[in-house]
Structure 1
C-alpha cells in the first residue's frame, strides 16, 4: 500500500473517531448509541488495514474469545 492510500485511510479512520467522540461528549448518542454510531463503523473498520498482519490475526482471535466469554457470563438469549 502506498503512502497516499495509507494517509487517506488514516484520515477517514481519525475522522470517524472524532465524530464518535463528539457525539459521545455532546450526549447526542445518549439513548440510541447503536443507531447513531452505525454509519461510522465501516470507516473505523477501514482503519484496521493500517495494522500489521500479525496484530490483525491476534486481534480477531481476541475479539472472538471476548465475545464467547461475554456470551457465557451474561447468559444472553441470542
Structure 2
C-alpha cells in the first residue's frame, strides 16, 4: 500500500455534518488541511465508522489536485 500523502487542499463533495466537530460542510467548501491524517483518511474513504447510511458508499472529500486533474482531462 502506498504511503498517504497529504494534499495541499481538500474540497467537500457532498453536504455533511462532521460528527467529530459538529461543523456543517456544503459541497464545494474547502475542508481544513490542518485536520489529522486519520480523519482525512476517514473522509476520503467510501465508508467509516459512524457515517450515516445516506453518506456510505462514496468519499465525502477529495484532494483538490485530483479534481483539477479530472477537469483538465475533460477539457482536452
Which is greater in Rg?
1
Q: When you count helix as a share of all residues, which structure comes out higher? A: 1
Q: When you count strand as a share of all residues, which structure comes out higher? A: 2
TM-score normalised by length of structure 2: 0.25
TM-score normalised by length of structure 1: 0.25
